[in-house]
């Protein structure tokens, strides 16, 4: 089956109504990561401010958590002048944190999209800095067409197969053997953790040099119980709405124990962007529409088996990890991330763990962006990682590696917000073996 080349779309169409996303019959027999079709696409900040970059969408063959073949889309982005020989690829997993296809980054980042309430537009102002370093970026729809937020393994499969497709896509200009870095924050950090865990067995041929996990959830069950009924109750409600699509036991629980009103709440949440669901469902308690307290329902044997399947940290990523977490995070408990780091280390993973006392959940992403990109740049350059360590710091900005590049980040965000060409700077990517190899990593 030959890959199809489509022309650029004339307008942004929601994925479940866009024929580009529907693979032709027979794609199942192709290898994971095979490109099924491609098209150029125009990206825009907040759907309105056109980005001066080179960008394409790739439909590729991947697999779900049960090994069933499926197709997904990644958005591949390069600086306006293209990438230089030897440039690396960054796979950035957005915090989709919703079910509606309106929240998928392949749609939300398109010019003309109507995706108010998605975080991809805010994240764009951070990952645009990678383009000024001369890197290419793959931004996968890691939840798949079901929008299965919280499902295990498959976000990793989709990210890794998106990398395979991006490296094989000749117009992108990357060497098929290029180095790869992984990065994601919050729900994107969760997806990045799955990619890091799956990489050695699912895609061992990829040269992944490191992964940055920003506030990567850590424990979905703990997060559910803590947020249910609070200001951010829309997030666990979205997870329930998503997992009922993936696990028959979850759907049976909802069908049996939830009232019609409760199921209607879940159905409406499934059509909302993340911010819209959080605002509408603030202080919502799932117990309001369940005949049995949700704590009892989630303690049922069938649910415990589901949650065991959802658990991160049962296997060690073979690539070095940087984990960044706010001590006073109002959404993801630092105790859950402490426990995840312990599990990774017990399995033999190399983890640099930074706990930030000054930040909270939303502010830590932009504040930790220079640190994250500098850490990945060191991995691309072959800088030797320091031994695994945990440090609690006043702020990531108190670290030299956290401050270095703040001006470049602000400049990249300015370029994105004002429609200026985003080009690679003259001091961009340092090739392996280049200057700084002996410098101590952050």
Based on the domain organization, do 364 and 385 belong to the same domain?
Answer: yes
The three-state secondary structure class of 391 is: strand
Which candidate, 263, 397, 282, places its Cα nearest to that of 331? 282
Cβ contact 255:374 at 8 Å: no
Based on the domain organization, do 287 and 369 belong to the same domain?
Answer: no
pLDDT at residue number 301? 87
pLDDT at residue number 426? 61
pLDDT at residue number 1? 81
Which candidate, 57, 56, 2, places its Cα nearest to that of 24? 2
Query: Using CA atoms in the order 43, 49, 50, 55, what is the torsion angle rounded to 10 degrees?
Result: -20
Buried b (16+ CB within 10 A) or exposed e, 283-311: ebebbebbeeebeebbeeeebeebeeebe
Domain C-terminal end among 310, 338, 353? 310
Cβ contact 71:35 at 8 Å: no
Which range marks the domain in which residue 301 is found? 220-310
CATH number at residue 285: 1.10.260.130
d(CA 323, CA 340): 10
Please determine, for residue 330, whether its predicted confidence score (pLDDT) is greater than 70: yes
Q: Percent helix, strand and coil across the chain, each rounded to 5?
A: 40, 20, 40
User: What is the percent of the chain with per-residue pLDDT over 70, rounded to a whole number?
Assistant: 96
Based on the domain organization, do 103 and 187 belong to the same domain?
Answer: yes
pLDDT digits (tens, 9 = 90+) for 105-163: 999 999 999 999 999 999 999 999 999 999 999 999 999 999 999 999 999 999 999 99
- If phi over 0 gives left and psi between -120 and 50 gives alpha, with beta otherwise, what is residue 283? left
Based on the domain organization, do 130 and 199 belong to the same domain?
Answer: yes
CB atoms within 10 A of CB 184: 32
pLDDT digits (tens, 9 = 90+) for 390-418: 999 999 999 999 999 999 999 999 999 99
Based on the domain organization, do 124 and 57 belong to the same domain?
Answer: yes
């Amino acid at each position: 089956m030959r890959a199809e080349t489509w022309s650029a779309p004339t307008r942004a169409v929601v994925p479940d109504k866009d024929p580009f996303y529907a693979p032709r019959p027979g794609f199942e027999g192709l290898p994971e990561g095979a490109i099924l079709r491609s098209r150029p696409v125009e990206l825009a900040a907040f759907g309105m401010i056109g980005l001066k970059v080179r960008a394409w969408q790739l439909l590729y063959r991947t697999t779900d958590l049960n090994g069933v073949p499926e197709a997904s889309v990644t958005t591949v982005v390069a600086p306006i002048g293209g990438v230089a020989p030897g440039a690396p690829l960054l796979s950035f997993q957005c915090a989709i944190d919703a079910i509606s296809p309106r929240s998928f980054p392949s749609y939300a980042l398109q010019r003309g999209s109507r995706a108010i309430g998605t975080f991809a537009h805010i994240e764009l102002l951070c990952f645009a800095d990678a383009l000024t370093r001369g890197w290419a970026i793959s931004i996968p729809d890691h939840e798949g067409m079901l929008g299965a937020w919280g499902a295990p393994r498959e976000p990793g499969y989709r990210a890794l197969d998106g990398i395979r497709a991006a490296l094989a896509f000749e117009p992108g200009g990357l060497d098929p053997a290029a180095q790869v870095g992984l990065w994601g924050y919050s729900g994107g950090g969760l997806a990045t953790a799955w990619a890091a865990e799956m990489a050695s067995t699912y895609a061992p041929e990829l040269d992944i040099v490191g992964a940055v996990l920003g506030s990567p959830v850590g424990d979905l069950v703990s997060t559910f119980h803590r947020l249910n009924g609070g200001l951010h109750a829309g997030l666990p409600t979205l997870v329930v709405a998503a997992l009922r699509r993936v696990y028959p036991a979850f759907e049976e629980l909802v069908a049996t124990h939830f009232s019609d009103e409760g199921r209607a709440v879940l159905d409406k949440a499934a059509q909302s962007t993340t911010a819209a669901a959080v605002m509408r469902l603030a202080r919502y308690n799932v117990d309001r529409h369940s005949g049995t307290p949700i704590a009892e329902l989630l303690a049922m044997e069938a649910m415990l088996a589901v949650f065991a399947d959802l658990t991160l940290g049962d296997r060690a990523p073979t690539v070095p990890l940087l984990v960044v977490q706010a001590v006073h995070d109002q959404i993801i408990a630092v105790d859950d991330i402490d426990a995840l780091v312990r599990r990774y280390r017990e399995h033999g993973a190399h983890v640099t763990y930074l706990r930030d006392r000054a930040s909270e959940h939303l502010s830590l992403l932009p504040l930790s962006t220079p640190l994250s990109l500098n850490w990945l740049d060191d991995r691309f350059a072959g800088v030797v990682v320091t031994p695994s360590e945990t440090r609690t710091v006043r702020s990531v900005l108190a670290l030299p590696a956290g401050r270095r590049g703040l001006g470049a980040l602000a400049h990249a965000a300015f370029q994105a917000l004002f429609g200026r060409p985003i080009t690679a700077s003259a001091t961009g990517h340092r090739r392996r073996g280049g200057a700084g190899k002996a410098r101590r990593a952050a």
